[in-house]
Amino acid sequence: MNPAVPSIDQLQEIALPAPVSYAPQTWGWWVVLGLLVLIAVVIGARRYWQWRRDRYRREALVRLAQLQQRSGDLSALRELPELLKRTALSMPYTRHLVGAGLLANRDSHAPAMSIDPTPSRASPLPQVTALGGMDWQVFLQQHLKQPLPTDFSQQLALLAYAPDATLRALPVEQRQQLFDTCKLWVERHHVAA
């Protein structure tokens, strides 16, 4: 072999530089990373809390869909007012919703109902259950941005207390409208936070 001709045995590997680290190199990037993780945890916790808070709403919508499938059955129609009342009772922060605006609408000769400002969840329940007529209509309308039919509470009372013959005489369109209005309220009613 000729010594002037390089051979493959003389080749040496080139030394590679150290791999670049993906970890932040300064403390500022660690702070940004920490803030991003904190924001993600807060958003995740808030969404989970909201999902849990809206459990009553999901259950009411499932029950409403079951009732709507049996819209020809009188018992399904009779259950609509009860379903709306139970949904209103299940709303979180009900004590803020029954506020002075609703109670001011009562007749002056009716005894005033006291609102307990403590965070007890049990105190507003009798107030919501006692609502009827125009007070019930006002309560339903106050918690929905879209307008409800002006006689919606009367229609609910008709469903609850009218004789079976009256309910059988309801047109299919009116039944469908009642189900649609109930669904709209359950889906979109506002809960004070």
**pLDDT per position as a tens digit, 42-95:** 999 999 999 998 899 999 999 999 998 987 788 888 888 889 888 888 887 654
Question: Which tokens hold the place of 43?
Answer: 């958003």
pTM of the predicted model over 0.85: no
Burial track 94-109 (b if 16+ CB lie within 10 A, e otherwise): bbebbeeebeeeeeee
Question: Which tokens hold the place of 119?
Answer: 């965070």
Which element (helix H / strand E) includes 104?
Answer: helix 100-104
How distant, in Å, are the alpha carbons of 107, 117, 133, 191 from that of 151? Answer: 19, 32, 9, 23
Q: CA-to-CA distance for 116 and 134, rounded, in angstroms?
A: 23
Q: CA-to-CA distance for 83 and 178, rounded, in angstroms?
A: 12
Q: CA-to-CA distance for 94 and 89, rounded, in angstroms?
A: 7
pLDDT the model gives residue 3: 63
Residue spans per domain, the chain: 55-188
How many of the other CB atoms lie within 10 Å of CB of 77? Answer: 23
Mean pLDDT score across all residues of the chain: 78
Q: Are 139 and 102 in contact (CB under 8 A)?
A: yes
pLDDT the model gives residue 132: 72
Q: CA-to-CA distance for 134 and 105, rounded, in angstroms?
A: 8
Q: CA-to-CA distance for 73 and 164, rounded, in angstroms?
A: 10
For range 98-119, the mean pLDDT:
38
What is the dihedral angle through the alpha carbons of 155, 80, 60, 113, rounded to the nearest 10 degrees? 60
183 or 93: which leads in pLDDT: 183
